[in-house]
A and B are shown apart, each in its own frame.
Chain A
Amino acid sequence: MLGYYVDLAVRSLKRSPGLTALMILAIAFGVAASMTSYSVFRAVSGDPIPWKSAHLYVPQIDMWGQKGHRDGSSNNDPPDAMDYLDAIALMRDHRAKYQSAMYAISPSIVPPDASKHPINVGGHAVYSEFFPMTDAPFKYGSGWSSAEDTQRAAVVVLNGEINQKLFGGGNSVGKTVNIDGKDYRVVGVLDNWSPKPVFFDVVNTGGFTTGHEDVFIPFLRAIDIGMPNNGNTNCSEIPKSSGFVGLQQSTCVWISFMVELDDKAAAAAYREYLDGYARDQKQAGRFSWAPNNRLRDLHEWLDSEHVVPSDTQISLVVALGLLVVCLVNTAGLLLAKFLRRSSEIGVRRALGAPRMAIYTQFLIEAAIVGLTGGVLGLLLTWIGIHSVSWVLPKEIASLARLDIGLLLLTLLVAVVATMLAGLYPTFRASRVQPALQLKSN
């Protein structure tokens, strides 16, 4: 019976090719626009570390008080980064399972081959616990030890790409790299680690950037040798004294901070600790306001930092609107098409076909339109995803991909949506009164 209905549907669709083409095109465009936008949205709103994101938290401390809200913003949020004093205090207290202060660096690497120009690289100064906390995948070696943190050891973890450039991709653990004129021992090589968004430091990267994380060096060492911060520096007032030391003594925020906490209880305890810390600072006379801290988990943090660009969200909404219009359009056309065949339905009903049979017949017709539209839409989605780089910034466009999941979803959306659009027309068709139709002929 199914085969027969398919045959009927194809015949019916062939009878009015223009209209059929219109419905298929509408579905295809609607689905392609939504799926292309969705692929971009999915890429930027994805969880960069799904197995652990619930355990990663970003603490915020209010070290600015009244001065921090001079921009007139209504929310009472503390700064989204940390100053040196508080970051170091939190590291020293060491209350979380893992924790790391970090800041963006952009040193230059001088290749051993004197004929080559120095290379400017990107990276972060971090603590040893950064690597187990972020589950950074090592290809060779490992991170450095906490002893090396305090010794301010000249060690470096390279990422895959820079290791390829400097050492041809081989195991370079133990070899030496010249960074800003000083020698560093390679202790580990990461396996082309490039989480999107760059969740451990969205303040300085905005989440998506064309920059690379090439090198990681111990935080305290970077501070000791005065390696400058390549990220944002936000101040509520101009530092009182000059230089890097002046920055360290100021309340300017330029350090990102992340902690790993095993469960809710640990998070609550850490929150308690932060408030206690702020109270201590108040007692010591540093803060003159009540504790105003935040401890957001990674999801809340990415959300509060608006990591998903609003353009991406607006595009998705508009594209979904386009899909809805296409479906309303298809529903109207299917309605007209089905009701035109009232006499045919009348005959079938008079000959004993139950309503269910009429339902099946017309829903199959809708599904065929949906499937064809879906296949065409898939093609358009493919074209769309390959041409988003024309309209979107590179760092975001390059993330959009067409994979099996999206492929199936595209077809599914097309078929289900078209069948939904066909539901009312089919209902109307099944209500056709056989007697009336037979009489009027």
Chain B
Amino acid sequence: MQIQPILAALRRHKAGTILIALQIALTLAIVCNALFIINQRLSHLSEQSGVDEPNLFVIRNMWGEQYSTQQAVQHIEEDVAALRQVPGVQDVSAVNNYPFGPSTWDNFITMKPDQLSPTTDASFYTGDENFVRTLGLKLIAGRDFRADEIQDKGLRDSIVPAVAIISKAMADKLYPNGDALGKTFYAMTSSPITIVGIVDVLHRQDVSSWSASYLGESMITPIRIAMPWGLTYVVRAKPGQLEEAMHAAPKALFAENRMRMIDPKDGLLSFAEVRHRAFEKDRGMAILMGIICVVLLAITGAGIVGLTSFWVGQRRRQIGVRRALGATHRDILHYFMTENLLISLGGVAIGVLLTFGLNLWLVTRFTLNLLPVTYVLAGIVILLLLGQGAVLAPALRASRVPPIEATRPA
């Protein structure tokens, strides 16, 4: 296939050629960045919580009145006892929060008490001796909390825990050699905290972007939270009995003490719903970007079909002449396919620059990550294929132009 005559012909359609190339370039820039955003959000969506998700549910319980720490402790014990009686319930733990939860509690972590810039930042869980068991965490080293280690903490009580169970991600950050067990750290505390156990995975409470570099870094302290206004219970149902347990649990609580509030909207949630709500924003963004990509590719494809059809119509006579001079169907088909390939290549060449330009702008303005080259390569392949696919129908039509057209006036 000779490229020279195609270039000569394109020179006579400068404006049209430039417009298609520009469209391809812009499409590439937007699609690459959108695909990257989609992928980031999807990988965010599939982050592991580390807990036994299918069998867990949470009850966010508020007392109807403000309790003193002593009253709160007593009510928590009564509640936990009542929940344990519910058929289908396997375990209960009184917690400050849970992975993907509604609020966040985190502390800077240092290796020395007077260290100015922190080693890391850990999500701070408080839990009783049932915490690890109830959430279904996998203890990979050390031991669980003993019942006599648990302290009750009222509102803003300054309690410094002596021991903690931490996630493997945090252990690796603090002690990269893998010898964290038995060692200590400081969580904005004056005295050291000893690591007595390590769990495989425990996601942070938040899913926000600021904590991305602290992914999976969590610590559990042997503290039972006894706030004046209420607390959260994590309940683990026996396998397959989640629905029954979720149905019966609030009833049991109200039967035990009527002075409480469980919000009808988000007071009682299965863990599946917790996950769904936490990532609502990311899923939405992925869908939105997906829709935009599809519309964009469709319009660009259709635009190429439209413009090429016009060109074919315009050149019927020339095609006829070529056919009459001995060009085969295949020659004509190849001509249009190659023409499109040349335009597309020009387009993606500009497009690559635009893609990185747009990405750089997003990085500086919104602290997105740098776009890996693979996305650009994938984008280029997609657009070249789209161009070839779009041009196929008009090119086939062109190849069927009979040689007799050469004799007809334009």
Contacts and interface: CB of A to CB of B under 8 A. Distances in A.
B310 interface: yes
Which residue, of B19, B154, B258, B302, has the highest number of chain A Cβ atoms within 10 A? B19
Interface string A107-140: 0101000000111100000000000000000000
A188 B188 CA distance: 44
Given A238-B158, A239-B156, A241-B158, A120 B261 contact: yes
Interface in B16-35: 16, 19-20, 22-23, 26-27, 29-30, 33-34
B65 interface: yes
Nearest to B69: A243
Contacts of B217: none
Contacts of A318: 30, 33-34, 289, 292
Contacts of A314: 37, 285, 362, 366, 368
Interface in B200-248: 227-229
B118 A71 contact: yes
A98 B190 CA distance: 41
Contacts of B288: 315, 391
B307 A108 contact: no
Given A22-B302, A332-B23, A247 B156 contact: yes
Nearest to A26: B299
B46 interface: no
Contacts of B259: 118
Interface in A177-193: 180-181
A92 interface: no
Given A335-B16, A390-B287, 4 more contacts: A237-B188, A321-B26, A340-B310, A391-B287
Given A26-B303, A238-B190, A322-B296, A71 B16 contact: no
Contacts of A25: 299, 302
A392 interface: yes
B62 A108 contact: yes
Contact of B281 (A19, A331, A393): A393
B182 interface: no
A273 interface: no
Nearest to B118: A70
Interface in A223-247: 228, 235, 237-244, 246-247
Given A66-B116, A118-B65, A335-B19, A440 B410 contact: yes
B146 to A, nearest CB: 24
B338 interface: no
A228 B229 contact: yes
A335 B15 contact: yes
A348 interface: no
A30 B368 CA distance: 25
A242 B157 contact: yes
Interface string B132-147: 0000000000000000
Nearest to B280: A393
A322 B23 CA distance: 10
A244 B156 contact: yes
A340 B313 contact: yes
A311 interface: yes
A331 B190 contact: no
Contacts of B117: 70, 72
A75 interface: no
A326 B299 contact: yes
A120 B263 contact: yes
Contact of B26 (A26, A119, A328): A328
Q: For the complex, would chain A's binding face be called helix, strand, loop or mixed by DSSP majority?
A: helix
| Among all A-B residue pairs, the 8 with the closest Cβ atoms | A391-B284, A118-B64, A332-B19, A336-B310, A329-B303, A310-B366, A328-B23, A321-B30
B189 interface: yes
Contacts of B280: 393
A299 interface: no
A332 B66 contact: no
A328 B158 contact: no
Given A181-B66, A313-B366, A340-B313, A325 B30 contact: yes
A62 to B, nearest CB: 16
A25 B296 CA distance: 12
Contacts of B27: 325
A171 B259 CA distance: 29
A325 B23 contact: yes
A311 B285 contact: yes
21 contacts: A25-B302, A67-B116, A71-B121, A110-B65, A117-B261, A238-B189, A239-B156, A243-B155, A310-B366, A317-B362, A322-B292, A325-B300, A328-B23, A329-B300, A329-B302, A332-B19, A332-B20, A333-B303, A390-B284, A391-B284, A441-B410
A249 B285 CA distance: 43
Interface residues of B, number: 69
A391 B365 CA distance: 23
Contact of B295 (A29, A240, A310, A340): A29
Interface in A22-49: 22, 25-26, 29-30, 33
B310 A117 contact: no
B229 A328 contact: no
Nearest to B103: A232
A106 interface: yes
A319 B285 CA distance: 12
A324 interface: yes
Interface in A66-121: 66-67, 70-72, 106, 108, 110, 117-120
A418 to B, nearest CB: 14
A239 B188 CA distance: 10
Contact of B15 (A181, A428, A441): A428
Interface in B26-57: 26-27, 29-30, 33-34, 37
A100 B237 CA distance: 48
Contacts of A242: 154, 156-158
A167 interface: no
Interface in A361-404: 390-393
Nearest to B267: A120
Given A119-B261, A319-B292, A332 B65 contact: no
A189 B66 CA distance: 25
Nearest to A232: B103
Contacts of B299: 25-26, 29-30, 325-326, 329
B311 interface: yes
B314 interface: yes
B5 interface: no
A120 B66 CA distance: 12
B108 interface: yes
B389 interface: no
A331 B299 CA distance: 13
A279 interface: no
Given A318-B292, A325-B26, A393-B284, A332 B16 contact: yes
A322 B307 contact: no
Contacts of B116: 66-67, 70
Nearest to A389: B284
Interface string B280-322: 1101110111001001100110110011011101100000000
Which residue, of A242, A315, A317, A318, has the highest number of chain B Cβ atoms within 10 A? A318
Which residue, of A33, A241, A322, A428, has the highest number of chain B Cβ atoms within 10 A? A322
Nearest to A320: B30
A246 B64 contact: no
A393 B300 CA distance: 31
A285 B295 CA distance: 63
